[in-house]
Structure 1
Amino acid sequence: MSENNATPTTATATAPEPRGASLTRPRREPMFPEGPAPDPAGDHHERRIRSFQPRRSRVTQGQADALRRLWPQWGLDIDGMRRLDLGELFGEPGRPATGMPVVLEIGFGMGEATAQMAAADPATGILACDVHTPGQGHLLALAERNGSANIRVANGDAIILLREMLAPDSLAGVRVFFPDPWPKKRHHKRRLIQPEFVALAASRIAPGGLLHCATDWEPYAEQMLEVLSAAPDFENTQPDGGYAPRPDFRPLTRFEGQGLRKGHVVHDLLFRRRAH
C-alpha cells in the first residue's frame, strides 16, 4: 500500500469496549448496526479482480463514536441498487444543494487531506470513497470538528459507485491520490488506473471536469501517463504532455512529506474531460 493508503481497503475492526461489554453484545452482532456494512453490494454484482486488498486495524473510541453518531447523516453504503441524487445527498432535509459541484475521491486513507480540501473549499462537495472503517470514522470526526458539511463518506467499491449509482456527467471531477501501486508484475492487473476505469470515469465527469491522479511510485506514474494520454475523452492540462506540479488545493500530507524526505518523487497528473 502506498504512503497515503488512498486505494479503498477492507477492514475488520474492533472498537475498544468497557470491561465486560462482550457479555452484553452477542459476538456476531454488528458493531455499528446503522453504520457502514461489511459488504454493502453483497451478491448483487459480479465478482471481479479488485484494486484494493484487505487491511485490518483497530477502531479507536473516538472513531467509533463518530461512526455511530454521524454515519446516518453523512455516510452511505455502495450497494449498487439505486441512483444517487447528489443535490439531495449534499443538502439538508428539504433543502437540496442544487448546483453544488461534487468531486469523487477514491481512497482517502485516514482522511486528513480530504478534510483539509473540504475545509478550504466549502462550496464543493466531496464524495469520499473507501472501505477502511477506522479511516471512515476519523474523516467523519474531522469533518465535524472543522464544521465541514460538504463531506459525504461512501463505503464500498468505487467501480460500483461510478457505474451503478452516479449519473452521466454528474461529477465535477475524480481524485485518485496514492493508490496501491501493486508493484509486482503479476499484480499489475489490479491497478486501478486502467483504460476501462478511465472510460468509466469519463462518462461520469462533466465536460471540463478534472481527473486528478497522484502517485509516488515511478513505474505506476508512467503507466498512468500512458493510459490517460491515450484516453480519447481526456486532454492533458500540461502543454508539454507530461506531469503537473502539485496544485495548491492538494495538501502535502504527513506521509507524503516523509516520502519526499527519503527521496521519493511524487507525480501529479491532471487531465481535463473534453467537451464533445
Structure 2
Amino acid sequence: MTLTDATPATPPAAATPAGRAAPIRTFHRRAGRMGPRHADALDRLWARYGLLVPERPAPLDPAALFGRRAPLVLEIGSGMGDATAEMAAADPGRDYLAVEVHTPGIANLLALIEERGLTNVRVARGDAMELVRGALEPDSLDAVHAFFPDPWPKARHHKRRLIQPAHVALLGSRLSPGGTLHCATDWAEYADAMLATLTADPGLVNAYDGFAPRPAHRPVTKFERRAVRAARPVHDLIFHRR
C-alpha cells in the first residue's frame, strides 16, 4: 500500500512490524462522535483528499498529491481543521498537508475543504513523525506548524512530547534552507522547554530574541480562546533552518 492509496475512513490500527520496537507516540488516540455533516464528508471526500500514514510509509511525491509543484507546509495536529483551512485559503501559493488522528477533526477539515473550494489542502491520518521520517524527503518543506501540541505535563510523559531534540532534528532536516518551524503553546513550562530545545538545535536559528510576538497570520484556535479565558499566556516560537 502506498501513502496515496484510497483508504477506509476509519482504517484499523497497523500492527508493529516484527523485530521493530513500538514507537513512542506523541498523541492520544481519541474517539469522538460524528454528526451527519462529518460522516457525509468522510464518506465522500476521503478518497479525494485523504491519505493514511502506514507504519512504514513510502516516499511521498507532493507534486502528484496536489497536482502541482508548490512550497509545502506540514501541519502537525490540525485538530478540527479550522485554522488550517483559514491559512490555506489566505495562502493559495503554498500547499498544506495536515496530519491528525482524531477522526471528527479529519472529517471537519474535509468538509471545510469542499465548502471553501480549497485545492491546496490534503489530510493525512496517522503519526506525523512516521510521515516525516519515512515519506518526506530532506529539504522538502517550506514550513512546519505545530500549534498547541499535547503538553504531556507529567514528568514521566515528557518523552512523548513532540518538541524534543530528536524530533526537532528530524523536522529541521526536512525543512528547506530558510524554512520555518513555527510552534505555539499555552503551557508555560512546555513553552520554556520548547525554547530551550529549539535554541539548542545547531541547524535552527531563532527569528526573534526569545519568544515571538503573536503573528497575525496564525488564526486563533479553540485552544487559544480557551487559554485566553483561563488567563494563560500563549507563546509563539518561530525558528528558521540555517
TM-score using structure 1 length: 0.81
Alpha-carbon offset, residue 117 of structure 1: 0.6
Whole-Å separation in 2 of the counterparts to 1:33 and 1:160:
17
Shift of the alpha carbon at 1:184? 1.0
Q: 2:226 aligns with which of 235, 258, 269?
A: 258
2:144 pairs with 1:171: no
| Cα separation, 1, equivalents of 2:57 and 2:127 | 13
Shift of the 254–35 alpha-carbon distance from structure 1 to 2, 3 Å rule, reads closer
Among residues 77, 83, 90, which one is paired with 2:59 in the alignment?
83
Q: Is residue 2:203 matched to residue 1:269?
A: no
Superposed, 1:172-187 pairs within 5 Å as 172-187=142-157
Q: Is the 2:42–2:110 contact (alpha carbons within 8 Å) kept by the matching residues of 1?
A: yes
Task: Tell me, yes or no, if structure 1 residue 243 matches structure 2 residue 221.
Answer: no
Q: Which contiguous aligned blocks of 4+ residues in structure 1 show a shift greater than 6 angstroms?
A: none
**SS in structure 2 of the partner of residue 108 of structure 1:** coil
1:36·1:71 contact (CA, 8 Å) conserved in 2?
no
Which stretches in structure 2 are left out of the alignment for 5+ residues?
Answer: 1-5
- For 1:84 and 1:205, locate their aligned partners in 2 and report how far apart those are by CA, in whole Å: 15
In structure 2, what is the Cα distance between the partners aligned to 1:257 and 1:132? Answer: 20
Displacement, 1:255? 3.5
Instruction: Answer with 46-55 or 170-179: which moved more.
Output: 46-55
Please give the per-residue CA displacement for 1:18-42, whole angstroms capped at 9, x wherever unaligned.
xxxxxxxxxxxxxx96335232x53
User: Partners in 1 of 2:223 and 2:187 — Cα distance?
Assistant: 14
The count of corresponding residues between Structure 1 and Structure 2 is 234
Q: 3-state SS of the aligned residue for 1:268? A: strand
Aligned-pair CA distance for 1:113? 0.8
Q: CA contact under 8 A between 2:29 and 2:101: conserved in structure 1?
A: no
What TM-score does the superposition give when structure 2 sets the normalisation length?
0.93
Q: Greater relative contact order (Cα 8 A, min sep 6): structure 1 or 2?
A: 1
Residues 57 and 130 of structure 2 are in contact (CA less than 8 Å); yes or no, is this contact kept in structure 1?
no
Secondary structure in 1 aligned to 2:177?
Answer: strand
Structure 1 distance, partners of 2:237, 2:105, is 25
Letter of the aligned partner of 2:170 in structure 1? L
Q: Percent identity?
A: 54
1:50-72: CA deviation from partner (whole Å, max 9, x where unpaired): 11112221122111111111111
Q: Which segment drifts farther, 45-54 or 215-224?
A: 45-54
The separation in 2 between residues aligned to 1:33 and 1:231, in whole angstroms, is 37
Q: What value does the CA root-mean-square deviation take over the aligned residues?
A: 1.5
1:34 matched to which residue of 2?
Answer: 8
What do residues 144-199 of structure 1 show as CA deviations (whole Å, max 9, x unaligned)?
10111111000111111001011111110111000111111111111110000001
